[in-house]
Chain A
Amino acid sequence: MREAFPLLIEACQIALVLFAAPLLAGWVRALKCWTQGRTSPGVLQPYRNLIKLFSKDIVLAHNASWVFRFTPYLLFGSVLMAGAIIPIISVDLPLSATADIIALVALFAIGRFFIALAGMDVGTAFGGMGSSREMMIASLAEPAVLMTTFTVSLFGHTTSLSEMVRFIGQQNFFLSPSMVFAAIAFVLTLLAETGRVPVDNPVTHLELTMIHEGMILEYSGRYLALVEWAGMMKLFIFTSLGVALFVPWGIPQGDDLMDIPLAVLIMAGKLALVAAGIVLAETGLAKMRIFRVPEFLGTAFLIATLGMLSHFILEM
């Protein structure tokens, strides 16, 4: 029985990523409504949206190729796979041996590559525009994400996520400039990767400013549901990746099934706080001009690199 525990925990985590992601998105939206003085439709609204979209018919453009139809499944699958690797409710995940941090970034890149192709596939102007912008941002955000995670991996001397989180979780609290830098850089790249203000506005359909929405404009029905669900999971995964890397205290080290409920509660509390932080940042900031984005991400990359350098300079 004991041998099956890791598998059970893995299954729990996948279920959690699947079904808690819309809740996190709903929480972010509800908080945003409150900070802006609007009445929110409730934290469960994303679930209702998804159910509505799943029950609708698909409207396909005449010239949509297999790429367009295949992409939602691939995107959903790759994001879910990433969700199975990150230590969210336990460090001891069987699937985490399949991919380290570099492969994780590559998993996100696959999904992004196909969604960019799908954006151009139908041949509308907005799709192509969205794709080109997305790729521009991605090409700058990915090095920054890698640099950030490498800084953390320097502590545990490993690129495996489980080992990194286990190593940091076993330390007592320590103050280190490189961790602080890495955390700041991670927050900046999180905003870019999940398409939040100030890089992209997740609620707008205004033609000139949309990035992610531009690419998925032609999707409808269950395809749109899958793409949106994947987007919510990506937000969930990135925030929990940040939590796992920088405040891993509370994630159980062993494979005891009894630890899981408490771990889920602690994780929920941390994520709710992080989401509140994101909402505050979004409410306080205005979306920046697209040509300022390279500078924003350049700063993230710079801070991540400084973090890495200060590990060697100040902490060796």
Chain B
Amino acid sequence: MTFTAQIINVLAACILLTSFGLLVQRRIYGLLRIFAWQGLFLSASTALVAYTAGMNHLYISAALTLTLKVVVLPYILYVLVNRLNIYRDVEPLVNIPATMLIGIVLVIFSYHLTAPIRELSTLVTRTTLAVALSTVLLGFLMMITRKKAVTQIIGFLALENGLFFAATSATYGMPLVIELGVALDILIAAFIFGIFIFQIRTTFDSLDLKEMEKLKEHEGA
């Protein structure tokens, strides 16, 4: 293995570690910080892939990732959390050690799922496909096991990170037009989430999504 391939692997491992970090972190500020780190690792590994494979458009993707996922999105979420005063501990539905174990099972599952693809592929990044898939699944897991809207949004964004990483490792990235579109979508989604969260809060006095499971109107209303 060449040295750049080793670094790409280490970065992939760091992305996996940050996905688990998102699962086990209790504080919202901590979550935002880990999310920013994940974006940083993602952008670094994309830039390295661009360098090894000589794909120039991946540099643009890396720069986009750096601005959007390391700076802009964490900042938007930070402002949101500050406005709403919700920096208290996050309450998970399943306790944290159990979530970790489920996460490990998901990693093994995605390893088995991607093993055949790995045999076929000849890219430098073929080994990281399993990591990308597990990042997607761990993002799902985070959205499932958390009650609050903000943590679910972070889970969703982590899932998107995983998809982006999967695209990079399976086919050296999507065409640039699509990547730009996705980046714009994510940015707009973050704004919409913000507005949506404010609405949830004013309607239900809480960001706990359990409240939304009740379909009845309030008494007396």
**Residues of A at under 8 Å CB distance from B?**
174-178, 180-181, 294-295, 298-299, 302-303, 305-306, 309-310, 312-316
23 A–B contact pairs at CB < 8 A?
Answer: A176-B6, A176-B9, A177-B14, A180-B13, A295-B24, A295-B96, A298-B97, A302-B20, A302-B100, A302-B103, A302-B104, A303-B17, A306-B13, A306-B16, A306-B104, A309-B104, A309-B108, A310-B9, A310-B16, A312-B111, A313-B127, A314-B12, A314-B128
A312 to B10, CA, bound (A): 13
Chain A residues lying within 8 Å of B127, measured Cβ to Cβ, are: 313-316
Minimum distance in angstroms from B115 CB to a CB of chain A: 9
Do residues A299 and B24 form an inter-chain contact, with CB atoms below 8 A? yes
Chain A residues lying within 8 Å of B9, measured Cβ to Cβ, are: 176-177, 310, 314-315
Given contacts A295-B97, A302-B104, A306-B13, 16 further A-B contacts (CB under 8 A): A175-B7, A176-B9, A176-B10, A177-B12, A177-B14, A181-B17, A299-B24, A302-B24, A306-B16, A309-B111, A310-B12, A310-B131, A312-B111, A313-B111, A314-B127, A315-B1
Chain A residues lying within 8 Å of B17, measured Cβ to Cβ, are: 181, 303, 306
Q: Which residue of A lies closest to B13 (CB)?
A: A177
Size class of the contact patch on chain B: 20 to 34
A140 to B130, CA, bound (A): 28
Chain A residues lying within 8 Å of B42, measured Cβ to Cβ, are: none
Minimum distance in angstroms from A58 CB to a CB of chain B: 43
Q: Which residue of A lies closest to B96 (CB)?
A: A295
Minimum distance in angstroms from B8 CB to a CB of chain A: 9
Main secondary structure of the interface of A (DSSP, over half): helix
Q: Which residue of B lies closest to A314 (CB)?
A: B9
B residues 73-130 touching A (CB-CB < 8 Å): 96-97, 100, 103-104, 107-108, 111, 127-128, 130
Chain B residues lying within 8 Å of A174, measured Cβ to Cβ, are: 6
Do residues A298 and B10 form an inter-chain contact, with CB atoms below 8 A? no
Chain B residues lying within 8 Å of A180, measured Cβ to Cβ, are: 10, 13
A-contact 0/1 string along B171-194, CB 8 Å cutoff: 000000000000000000000000
Do residues A310 and B13 form an inter-chain contact, with CB atoms below 8 A? yes
Most buried by B among A178, A294, A298, A303: A298
Chain B residues lying within 8 Å of A316, measured Cβ to Cβ, are: 127
Minimum distance in angstroms from A315 CB to a CB of chain B: 7
B residues 39-97 touching A (CB-CB < 8 Å): 96-97
A246 to B14, CA, bound (A): 19
Minimum distance in angstroms from A187 CB to a CB of chain B: 15
Closest 5 A/B residue pairs (Cβ):
A177-B13, A314-B9, A175-B6, A313-B130, A298-B97
Minimum distance in angstroms from A265 CB to a CB of chain B: 31
Chain B residues lying within 8 Å of A175, measured Cβ to Cβ, are: 3, 6-7, 10
Minimum distance in angstroms from B134 CB to a CB of chain A: 9
Q: Which residue of B lies closest to A310 (CB)?
A: B13
A160 to B108, CA, bound (A): 27
A312 to B7, CA, bound (A): 16
Chain A residues lying within 8 Å of B131, measured Cβ to Cβ, are: 310, 313-314
A299 to B100, CA, bound (A): 8
Q: Which residue of B lies closest to A180 (CB)?
A: B10
A178 to B6, CA, bound (A): 11
Chain A residues lying within 8 Å of B3, measured Cβ to Cβ, are: 175
Q: Which residue of B lies closest to A299 (CB)?
A: B24
Chain A residues lying within 8 Å of B13, measured Cβ to Cβ, are: 177-178, 180-181, 306, 310, 314
Most buried by B among A175, A302, A303: A302
A-contact 0/1 string along B125-158, CB 8 Å cutoff: 0011011000000000000000000000000000
Minimum distance in angstroms from B10 CB to a CB of chain A: 5
Minimum distance in angstroms from A289 CB to a CB of chain B: 13
Chain A residues lying within 8 Å of B24, measured Cβ to Cβ, are: 295, 299, 302
Minimum distance in angstroms from B4 CB to a CB of chain A: 10
A175 to B13, CA, bound (A): 12
A2 to B104, CA, bound (A): 50
Minimum distance in angstroms from A246 CB to a CB of chain B: 15
Chain B residues lying within 8 Å of A295, measured Cβ to Cβ, are: 24, 96-97
Minimum distance in angstroms from B201 CB to a CB of chain A: 30
Q: Which residue of A lies closest to B16 (CB)?
A: A306
